[in-house]
Amino acid sequence: MPHPLGNPPSKIIAVHLNFRSRAKERGRTPAHPSYFLKPPSSLAGTEEAIIRPRGCQLMGFEGEIALVIGSRAQRVAPEDGWSYVRWVTAANDAGVYDLRYADRGSNLRSKGADGFTPVGPRLLDARQLEPAGLRLRTWVNGELVQDDTTDTLLFPFGELVADLSRLVTLEPGDVILTGTPAGASVAEPGDVVEVEVGDGRLSTGVLRSPIASADHDLEPWGAQPKVDRAEEESAYGSAYVPGPFLDESLARGLRSVAVATISAQLRRHGLPHMSVDGVRPLSPAATMVGVAHTLRYLPLREDLFERYGTGMNAQKRAIEQLRPGHVLVMDARRDTSAGTLGDILALRAQQRGAAGVVTDGGLRDSAAVAALGLPVFHGGAHPSVLGRRHVPWDTGVPVACGGALVQPGDLIVGDDDGVVVVPPDLAAELIVDCREQERQERFITEQVRAGASVDGLYPLGPAWRDAYETWCKGETQ
């Protein structure tokens, strides 16, 4: 189906970074908007395949809101900028990160290929829309991966029109791609990317773009596809998985020692405040080792709950961002008088491959969650939903869970004694020290059972050192 714009625009202008969620994901917030151009030949309509060139691996998608200029705009004021917009539609700012290095900044080959700017399927009359009241959603194979609203833009639409028109005359039919929210990532051949824009009353309909592979090799002249870890991380965004989250030998080592032992060794390393206090395992004999992915709740404010607590809120985004090996760590300010997790979201976390969940708040549907077999450590059972006490605020940030500071990427270990936070760069050394401590404790236990006094024995003192060394040689034979 051809794109709905009719005559090709004189230019397509794309904003690099505009949604707050995307800025947080990228780790930077620009003071002013910046732009790049896409050629009109990149336009496509719904149901038209986006073709990934052979040799490329990172076919990026970015759901966006496209503005179509209705009248000539030159040096307009920000408060008048929206009046120059005639139509609004959905867009996918597609591109291959494998070629981004070749035209760094301009993105010409990486984002300007034929068919890399699908728009449509319908144009919405801008005069019937509130520019700060639009919702953008993107799905990949039916799974919602982007969901954000235009009241979170860094640079409102009218400001973009005004900024551009200071130096560049915008002609009728020109297109402005206004930026993508968090969740933009990579699609594979065979995937289907869908984008929709609406305000609850009016909708662009779903812009549907199948991803396909080119049927020919990329010609050998010119820059060739190239991928490195930094480009992979940029392409995948919040979905980036840098190889295994946790080296399996390290994971086995942490599983082989008790949380109580790890806590003691952390204290000996000058870290006495690494336990997540006040949480208990939902099921007896539960063990958990994984990498922290964080979610922060703030106290309920009724006037903000509609904005932050409904729809694809931070709680749901955190669940959908989980990858195999993640432990979802929730900071609920130790307030257990409302649930922070129930059976449906726990099931979804399990399906995403989560290694476990830790919350210093309440747990709903505790029997159903226990039946899943997912390791869950919680502050206490409670029947109410989060809207009673909490607003899910943000994800992927440092949090305070049970009095412990947890950063995304910290290692989380749990057993019947509780949960501890392990700095990744200390883990290997801790495992060696923990194993030595537990070996000494096995020796000490044998001596106490044989009737020895703990004086000078526990902890192991100089008088017992030779006997311990002899015992160790026998244990290793």
E strands along 70-113, which residues?
85-92, 95-96
Whether residue 231 has pLDDT greater than 90: no
E strands along 350-474, which residues?
356-359, 362-363, 376-378, 380-381, 390-395, 399-401, 404-406, 411-415, 418-422
Q: Do 122 and 216 belong to one domain?
A: yes
Number of folded domains that form the chain: 2
pLDDT tens, position by position, 305-346: 888 888 878 898 888 878 889 999 999 999 999 999 999 999
Residue 423: how many CB atoms within 10 A of its CB? Answer: 15
| Residue 433 covered by a domain | no
pLDDT tens, position by position, 136-178: 999 999 989 999 999 999 999 999 999 999 999 999 999 999 9
Whether residue 238 has pLDDT greater than 90: no
Which amino acid appears at position 186 of this protein? V
Q: Do 51 and 69 belong to one domain?
A: yes
| Residue 88 covered by a domain | yes
Task: Give the annotated binding-site residues.
Answer: 342-345, 364-365
CA–CA dist 442, 474 (Å, integer): 13
Q: Do 231 and 280 belong to one domain?
A: no
With a pLDDT cut of 90, the percent of the chain lying above it is 74
Task: Give the annotated binding-site residues for substrate.
Answer: 342-345, 364
**Total residue count of the chain as it appears in this document:** 477
With a pLDDT cut of 70, the percent of the chain lying above it is 97
CA–CA dist 10, 258 (Å, integer): 66
Contact 409, 424 (CB under 8 A): yes
Q: Do 211 and 306 belong to one domain?
A: no
Last-in-domain residue among 239, 257, 282: 239
Calculate helix-pair angle for 259-268, 427-449, nearest 10 degrees: 110
Q: Which residue has the higher pLDDT, 312 or 382?
A: 382
Query: Ranked by mean pLDDT, which of 156-165, 322-331, 384-393, 456-465 comes out on top?
Result: 156-165
Q: Which residues span the domain enclosing 281?
A: 248-427
Q: What is the CATH number of the domain that holds 208?
A: 3.90.850.10
| Residue 447 covered by a domain | no
- The structure tokens listed for 434 are 């923990």
DSSP string, 290-332: EEEEEEEEEE--HHHHHHHTSSS-HHHHHHHT--TTEEEEEE-
Last-in-domain residue among 213, 239, 265: 239
CA distances from 85 to 77, 97, 180, 267 (A): 13, 31, 19, 61
Give which of 49, 51, 61, 45 is closest to 1, Cα–Cα: 45
Q: Do 203 and 277 belong to one domain?
A: no
| Residue 6 covered by a domain | no
Whether residue 1 has pLDDT greater than 90: no
Q: Do 235 and 367 belong to one domain?
A: no
The model's pTM is 0.58
| Residue 43 covered by a domain | yes
Q: Do 303 and 218 belong to one domain?
A: no
| Residue 416 covered by a domain | yes
Q: Do 285 and 195 belong to one domain?
A: no
Whether residue 301 has pLDDT greater than 80: yes
Q: What is the mean pLDDT of residues 420-445?
A: 93
Largest CA distance in the chain: 95
DSSP string, 120-161: EEEEEEGGGS-GGG-EEEEEETTEEEEEEEGGGBSS-HHHHH
Task: Give the annotated binding-site residues for Mg(2+).
Answer: 365
Q: Where are the alpha helices (DSSP H) in 54-125?
A: 78-81, 108-111
3-class SS shares of the chain: helix, strand, coil, % to 5: 30, 30, 40
